[in-house]
Each structure stands twice: as structure tokens, then as C-alpha cells.
Amino acid sequence: MMRSLLAIALLLSSSALAQAPADDQSLVGKYRGHIMTNGLMMAEVGIDLVIERVENGHVTATLTRYGMRAEAGGACNGDLKMRGMYINNKLKLGGRNGGDSGTCGMRFEATREGDKLTGTTPNGFQVELSRIP
């Protein structure tokens, strides 16, 4: 009897760990915003982020860049598949081989506050996104 109860307790606790917390699922959706570059080519680049899936902290998303001038990397306009992690309201995403040229990449880290994601790229560019319907 005691072994049966222990086995049931272990089964229930392991299945609870395998499910993503409700907080993770609330991250799924569409976001719109911009990246503010700095330096000689200071520019505001429009971005859309679609977070498609969050499972056990692992994130799958598609980032679309638009509005980049040719001299500021216009070949990187377009879609970029991204993967990353979401833990304790911190999102880390990265991807490569995307954009119109197929050679562009991007990484960023952001903090979630309500419907907003704010953070930076490794180059120090500011990233700001807000959930859209």
C-alpha cells in the first residue's frame, strides 16, 4: 500500500513538472515595436515578433524586421526564425540565416512587464515591443 502511494505521488509530481507554467503560455502572441540602433547609423528599425510556442521554458518565435535603409543593413529586412528561453519573466532569443538575404542574425534579451517586452541586443541596441491583438 505504501509503495503504491509513493508511486502515485512520484507520477503526479513528475507530470506537473513536465507541464509549462501558465505564465509561459501567456507569453504566446504577437508583439510590435522597434530596435533603436546607436552610433553613426542611428536609426529606428521596426520589428514584429510572433511568439509561436513556449514549452518548459523553451521558446519558438519569428521576428520580422522592416524599414531598414539599405546603408543600414536593408538586406536584413524580412523574417528570422528564433529560438530561446523564457525564465522568471526574462526572455532570451536568437536566430541566424534569416532576413531577405538569408545571412542575417539577431539576439536579444528582454524583460516582460505586463504586455511589454523591453531589453537590449549584445551591441547595446534598445529593443521595445508591445503585445498587439
Which has the higher per-residue pLDDT, 82 or 98?
82
The pTM (predicted TM-score) of the whole model is 0.77
Q: Is 5 within a domain?
A: no
pLDDT tens for residues 42-53?
Answer: 677 889 999 999
Looking at residue 23, its pLDDT comes to: 58
* Distance, CA of 91 to CA of 84 (rounded, Å): 7
Beta strands in the chain (DSSP E): 29-36, 44-55, 58-66, 78-87, 90-98, 104-113, 116-120, 126-132
Q: How many CB atoms lie within 10 A of CB 3?
A: 7
Residue 13 lies inside a defined structural domain of this protein: no
What value does the mean pLDDT take over residues 91-99? 94
pLDDT at 41 over 90: no
Establish if 24 belongs to a structural domain.
yes
pLDDT at 9 over 50: no
Q: Quickly state the pLDDT bin for 74 (edges 50, 70, 90).
A: low
Using CA atoms in the order 20, 26, 27, 29, what is the torsion angle rounded to 10 degrees? 120
User: Who wins on pLDDT, 72 or 33?
Assistant: 33
Residue 107 is assigned to a structural domain of this protein: yes
Residue 98 inside a domain? The answer is yes
The CATH number of the domain holding residue 89 is: 2.40.128.120
Domain that holds residue 95: 20-132
126 part of a folded domain: yes
- Number of independent structural domains in the chain: 1
Q: Give a yes or no: residue 102 inside a domain.
A: yes
